[in-house]
Amino acid sequence: MDIISRIKAHNPGLRKDADIRVLSGRAESVEVKEDGSRRELIVVANTARIDEDGEVVVPEGGELGYFGANRSVFIDHMYDDANFIGKVRTGYPKLENGRWVVRFGVRRSPRGDQLLRDAEDFGVSVSIGFDALEAGPPTDDEVKKYGGGRSFRSIVRKWNWAELSVTWMPCNVDARSPHPEAYAAPRKAVTLTPFGLVKMA
């Protein structure tokens, strides 16, 4: 079963004719915390960046929908116990400065332990599944606002958030997340440059 079919099958709150899409937005500021009692990742799941498919998903158009109620985080859009990786913390997701920030606790399991090691060693990526409620070609004003004058194929103005997954092959190669230096200074934000370098805030 492909990703879109899995999202539809495991999200009962979706419309019957839901226009399901998947987006991986760059995690511009991320944080990894592990202090023995709390193991969590803080990621930016969506910005107004043009993705690899030439689409912009407007953060302000997002509704929490099923994901806001369920709050579960999975691996690679696989919805079973083996791939359940954590739960979103109270107060998240939240829209901050034009981007969706998610803070989630990482499950105490071999898979969860591996995720934290991968975040430390390589960084990880996140991907959202959503129902596009209002989408189409961008207007000239939207091209100026979101593309800086560079054209793009489509814009999703309103959407219903269905799920969040950690993935190692996002549709947007900028969807990188925690970096080793986030462990060295867990209270600081990590900013990833376009080349994957890190600047500490």
pTM above 0.75, yes or no: no
Q: Which residue has the higher pLDDT, 197 or 8?
A: 8
3-state secondary structure of 193: coil
pLDDT at 113 over 70: yes
Measured distance CA(96)–CA(103) in Å, rounded:
13
- Please, are residues 119 and 78 in contact by the beta-carbon 8 Å criterion? no
pLDDT at 77 over 60: yes
| Percentage of the chain modeled with pLDDT above 90 | 30
Measured distance CA(37)–CA(15) in Å, rounded:
39
What number is the average pLDDT over the span 182-195?
A: 31
Bridge partners (DSSP) of residue 194 are none
Query: Which pLDDT does position 95 carry in this prediction?
Result: 94
pLDDT at 96 over 70: yes
Task: Return the domain boundaries, the chain.
Answer: 3-200
List Cα–Cα distances, 120 to 6, 53, 114, 154, 159, in angstroms: 29, 29, 10, 35, 32
Q: What's the DSSP call for residue 122?
A: T
What number is the average pLDDT over the span 94-102?
A: 90
Measured distance CA(132)–CA(127) in Å, rounded:
15
- Please, are residues 156 and 132 in contact by the beta-carbon 8 Å criterion? yes
**Which tens digit of pLDDT belongs to each residue from 17-68?**
777 766 654 444 345 555 556 788 888 888 888 887 789 999 999 999 889 9
**Which tens digit of pLDDT belongs to each residue from 130-184?**
899 999 999 999 999 999 888 999 999 999 999 999 886 655 444 445 433 333 3
Query: Which pLDDT does position 3 carry in this prediction?
Result: 63
